[in-house]
A and B are shown apart, each in its own frame.
Chain A
Amino acid sequence: DGGITQSPKYLFRKEGQNVTLSCEQNLNHDAMYWYRQDPGQGLRLIYYSQIVNDFQKGDIAEGYSVSREKKESFPLTVTSAQKNPTAFYLCASSTTGVLSDTQYFGPGTRLTVL
């Protein structure tokens, strides 16, 4: 089956710890994205990558880091510098980084800081 997967579905973290959220796609898409969603709100862009080995900061990149070593994978690390990391994190991909592309979303990871 083609698609985009995220793991884990639920993640708990103690304050001061870094955690890495996984995002994998087998759609052969060039572009991948990470969004954060807080309760009752829309999506805010954290980072995006239009091609392997390249990525750009989104609107709320502080406290997060990413890598894009493979086309299929775009992991997100939530660092201890992120002051309020509890949120729902969504990964997406699109054919290219062209503005008109439809984005395909994974099922999300819910991160809770204890």
Chain B
Amino acid sequence: SQQGEEDPQALSIQEGENATMNCSYKTSINNLQWYRQNSGRGLVHLILIRSNEREKHSGRLRVTLDTSKKSSSLLITASRAADTASYFCATDSGAGKSTFGDGTTLTVKP
């Protein structure tokens, strides 16, 4: 079973709006990472947040982590058409492995 599950499955917004996607997981983690995948390409790492951190920023990205609720959110502010992609969360699942969810597909309309 998947450790991380993203929500919503798909999100469509206008350029300039903010996009929020969520990730829930089942067991305790040491860290959680967010990745982006453009269609037909490999994944690109966006940000890592550790279990003792609550919030982290990187440019227009803001990630929060609530370990009590076993959830994380990724906020993209002032979205651009180039942000159109699928976004995945990944949690460590032991023995050097990461477990990925099914992703949120974001479409930003110009």
Contacts and interface: CB of A to CB of B under 8 A. Distances in A.
B67 interface: no
A48 B97 contact: yes
Contact of B97 (A58, A104, A108): A58
Interface residues of B, number: 26
A86 B44 CA distance: 23
Contacts of A105: 35, 42-44
Given A40-B102, A42-B2, A42-B88, A90 B96 contact: no
Interface in B35-82: 35, 40-45, 48, 50
A108 B38 CA distance: 12
Interface of A: 31, 35, 40-45, 48, 50, 56, 58, 88, 90, 92, 97-100, 102-108, 110
11 contacts: A35-B100, A41-B102, A56-B96, A99-B92, A100-B92, A102-B45, A103-B90, A103-B98, A105-B43, A107-B42, A108-B42
Interface of B: 2, 30-31, 33, 35, 40-45, 48, 50, 88, 90, 92, 94-103
Query: Closest 10 CB pairs between A and B?
Result: A97-B96, A105-B42, A99-B92, A42-B100, A43-B100, A42-B102, A105-B43, A102-B45, A100-B31, A107-B42
